[in-house]
Chain A
């Protein structure tokens, strides 16, 4: 049976390589991780972006460059207004007189940033005042930015469901070509066929997870926990891919169903990131939430085997429930 399983999986690899889809599915997460790694230093580096016209003195520009990104325009007058009206969040600055400034804003910038800009200019204008207090900044030495933390977890969980989607499209196409029903008269058991079809969808996400985390430069991670967390979510993704694949007779419905599948995945992940803790119980139904929670704790170096196994157990329990509810439907669809 093992040989038949590997043969079915191997056939899908060869067929996928001919279509290049396997290449894309394998390479896409690593490319995404490389892009994310390139972006991370830039995101959050400049909270305040300013455009100044030539009336502003070089000393002021030098000061502003210590607190944000400064673009020095070449012309006075309308050029500043035009720059401020561009789609990004940029504040304009011109010198209104000796030692006085005019901030120009469009009105749709991020709330509060105009007040911050005003205060930093107040600090510059009144720099000779003797202040009764001192300010200093210290930190606790945590160098992992949120984008890298959440980006890694999002990428790993999201890529884990790709396998399920490839299986979905593959199954629908085989149904349309009648090769699926041919399996009923082939010397391959239903179990071997299902395992062979699903094998790549479970193995590849684990390889992806390792690659993505290494590319992003995480150190000291427990890759055993990563394997367990990703294996469980890949398993349910493969199951969902099977269910949708066998329940749909045509590619259009399958493609629409795949779109619907993105909703709970994205909602679970975005909810886990942006919602306050008190709202998280709303996401407890979603296996993707628990997988994301595991990955997030792993990259924060806070995960324990107890929590990872608990989360994995929940994912597997949901998988078992979904399988139990739909097993007859899957069997009918494979006929």
Chain B
């Protein structure tokens, strides 16, 4: 009952301080940008500047091969090697192909790169080309099969790929910073010290804060997902997961707050935590770079789990296991925060 009273009081305060309106406004801005400003797929593949310096009929054969290839749309034909190199200077993520006849008379494919590519990437490129070439040879042996464990997966649009990042960094961790602001405001007003002389328990007070952040997190995540993913998301598991993630994020905020007397002091630690948590987005967007240390950051499995729930056939076992881990983590961190608050709260 006391928890409910405190929770409703905090909810009313959010309306008075416009916090709820700001959170909803932020969600609406995100929706508007994603739906009306950015196209559904907004990342671009860079051009491949191409030069074929061969005589007929070799030129036509190679040109036909390129025009019928998967990357035909990306090829831009130029008339000199110098033009290729100048084009690469203008676009630092582009590459070139220069096909010519070597001094020994052999047709040579020269892949012109920038220079920052790793040795393994360079070798991968070369072996991929050689492998592709072998498939056209009469004595080619097809000795490689591919088995898919989970069934074929559809490709998510860029819009849906970005959605988990907003849900994690905004909706799940909405409490991390704001709960600190709430508690310090209560400290300044003397509300929190009143707990030592009232029947209300500190646990009720902290749980009310968790509840407050949970309401905000669920509201914004539901709003944004409905607008952007529409029927593509699995809403039941998603809401369960977001609840677990939000409780985890707010519990961290409570624990950090317990170590400080005011927001300015707490801000530094909060920023460090946010910075570390945001790091996992690098591996999320670049799956080829996902060292264990980054995969251990809690936000990484959060991002992967939410993305799972946007596929037609999600791996629910993984999602629920992650949610369970987050809930367990939230409970443990909350107990630590409660211990700290009880210890530091004196009349």
Residues of A within 8 A of B289 (CB): 42-44, 46
Residues of B within 8 A of A84 (CB): 149
- Determine if B290 and A89 form an interchain contact, defined as CB atoms under 8 angstroms apart: yes
Chain B CB within 8 A of A189 CB: no
Residues of A within 8 A of B145 (CB): 96, 100-103
- The CA of A6 and the CA of B277, in the complex, are separated in Å by 37
Total chain A interface residues with beta-carbon distance under 8 A:
95
- Determine if A139 and B113 form an interchain contact, defined as CB atoms under 8 angstroms apart: yes
- The CA of A274 and the CA of B147, in the complex, are separated in Å by 33
Closest chain A residue to B90, Cβ basis: A302
Given contacts A116-B128, A145-B116, A300-B92, contact A47 B44 (CB under 8 A): no
From residue A244, how far is it (CB to closest CB) to chain B in Å? 11
Residues of A within 8 A of B125 (CB): 137
Task: Give the residue of A107, A125, A170 whose beta carbon is less than 8 angstroms from that of B148.
Answer: A107
Question: Which of B121-147 touch A at CB < 8 Å?
Answer: 121-135, 137, 139-147
Task: Give the residue of B102, B137, B144, B271 whose beta carbon is less than 8 angstroms from that of A118.
Answer: B144
Question: Which of B218-237 touch A at CB < 8 Å?
Answer: none
Chain B CB within 8 A of A257 CB: yes
Chain B CB within 8 A of A279 CB: yes
- The CA of A105 and the CA of B140, in the complex, are separated in Å by 24
Residues of A within 8 A of B143 (CB): 96, 99-101, 121-122, 125
- The CA of A170 and the CA of B264, in the complex, are separated in Å by 7
- The CA of A150 and the CA of B116, in the complex, are separated in Å by 14
- Determine if B117 and A139 form an interchain contact, defined as CB atoms under 8 angstroms apart: yes
Given contacts A122-B135, A279-B42, contact A251 B185 (CB under 8 A): yes
Q: Mark A186-219, 1 if CB is under 8 A from B, else 0.
A: 0000000000000000000000000000000000
Task: Give the residue of B37, B286, B304 whose beta carbon is less than 8 angstroms from that of A87.
Answer: B304
Q: Mark A55-81, 1 if CB is under 8 A from B, else 0.
A: 000000000001111000000000001
Task: Give the residue of A88, A252, A279 whose beta carbon is less than 8 angstroms from that of B287.
Answer: A88
Chain B CB within 8 A of A305 CB: no
Chain A CB within 8 A of B343 CB: no
- Determine if A143 and B134 form an interchain contact, defined as CB atoms under 8 angstroms apart: no
Say which one of A17-25, A235-243, A312-320, A324-332 lies at the interface with B: A17-25
- Determine if A139 and B112 form an interchain contact, defined as CB atoms under 8 angstroms apart: yes
- Determine if B288 and A256 form an interchain contact, defined as CB atoms under 8 angstroms apart: no
Residues of B within 8 A of A25 (CB): 268
Total chain B interface residues with beta-carbon distance under 8 A:
102
From residue B171, how far is it (CB to closest CB) to chain A in Å? 12
Task: Give the residue of B19, B122, B188, B265 whose beta carbon is less than 8 angstroms from that of A253.
Answer: B19
Question: Which of A16-47 touch B at CB < 8 Å?
Answer: 16, 19-21, 23-25, 28, 32, 39, 42-47
Closest chain B residue to A119, Cβ basis: B131
- Determine if B185 and A105 form an interchain contact, defined as CB atoms under 8 angstroms apart: no
Closest chain A residue to B178, Cβ basis: A255
Residues of A within 8 A of B127 (CB): 67, 119-120, 123-124
- Determine if A129 and B116 form an interchain contact, defined as CB atoms under 8 angstroms apart: no
- Determine if A108 and B150 form an interchain contact, defined as CB atoms under 8 angstroms apart: yes
Chain B CB within 8 A of A182 CB: no
Residues of A within 8 A of B13 (CB): 252
Residues of B within 8 A of A101 (CB): 143-145
Residues of B within 8 A of A170 (CB): 264
Given contacts A44-B121, A135-B108, A256-B22, contact A105 B275 (CB under 8 A): no
Of the candidates A110, A119, A144, the one having the most CB atoms from chain B within 10 angstroms of its own CB is A119
- Determine if A146 and B92 form an interchain contact, defined as CB atoms under 8 angstroms apart: yes
Residues of A within 8 A of B150 (CB): 85, 106-108
Chain A CB within 8 A of B215 CB: no
Task: Give the residue of B85, B93, B107 whose beta carbon is less than 8 angstroms from that of A134.
Answer: B107
Chain A CB within 8 A of B262 CB: yes
Chain A CB within 8 A of B151 CB: yes
- Determine if A100 and B144 form an interchain contact, defined as CB atoms under 8 angstroms apart: yes
Residues of B within 8 A of A20 (CB): 265, 268
Given contacts A134-B107, A279-B42, contact A263 B114 (CB under 8 A): no
Residues of B within 8 A of A103 (CB): 144-147
Of the candidates B42, B133, B272, B275, the one having the most CB atoms from chain A within 10 angstroms of its own CB is B133
Task: Give the residue of A49, A120, A135, A149 whose beta carbon is less than 8 angstroms from that of B92.
Answer: A149
15 CB-based A-B contacts, threshold 8 Å: A19-B264, A46-B120, A47-B121, A66-B120, A119-B128, A120-B128, A122-B134, A126-B131, A131-B133, A133-B133, A140-B112, A140-B113, A255-B180, A256-B23, A259-B26
Interface residues of chain B, those whose CB is within 8 Å of chain A, are: 13-14, 17-19, 22-23, 25-26, 29-30, 33, 37-39, 42-44, 85, 88-89, 92-93, 102, 106-118, 120-135, 137, 139-153, 155, 170, 177-178, 180-182, 184-185, 188, 262-265, 267-268, 271-272, 275, 282-283, 286-291, 295, 300-301, 304, 311, 318
Given A19-B264, A255-B263, 8 more A-B residue pairs with CB atoms under 8 Å apart are A89-B287, A103-B145, A107-B152, A134-B108, A137-B126, A252-B14, A256-B178, A257-B22
Closest 4 CB pairs of A and B: A119-B131, A24-B268, A123-B131, A89-B287
